[in-house]
Amino acid sequence: MCHFTEAERQGLIDTRSLVRDEEGREVLVGLTDQESDLLMGYRRRFTSGNSDGDPENLAIWLELAQRHELARPL
C-alpha cells in the first residue's frame, strides 16, 4: 500500500493527481496501488539524490510516470 506524507498528499491533491481505487486506497491517477508505490518510491529517492542507474528500472519508472501524466485531468 502506498503511503503519502501530508506534504505529498497536498501537492498531489492540488495537481489532481490523487484518487481512490475500488478498495478505497489512495493511488496516483492511472496507476494501481503497487504501481503508485513504485513510482513514489522512485520519486522520493530521486529527490534525495539517490536515483537508480539501472536502465531497466528507469524504463519501468518512466512508463509509470507517463501513464500517470496521461491519465491526469487537464
Give me the pLDDT at residue 74, please.
79
Asked if residue 51 belongs to a domain, the reply is yes
Q: Range of 31's domain?
A: 6-71
Asked if residue 60 belongs to a domain, the reply is yes
**Residue 31 φ then ψ, to 5°:** -125, 155
| pLDDT single digits (tens) 11-67 | 999 999 999 999 999 999 999 999 999 999 999 988 887 766 678 888 999 999 999
Asked if residue 20 belongs to a domain, the reply is yes
Helix extents (H) in 1-74 = 6-14, 33-47, 55-71
Q: pLDDT-based confidence at 73, cuts 50/70/90?
A: confident
Asked if residue 1 belongs to a domain, the reply is no
Q: What's the whole-model pTM score?
A: 0.86
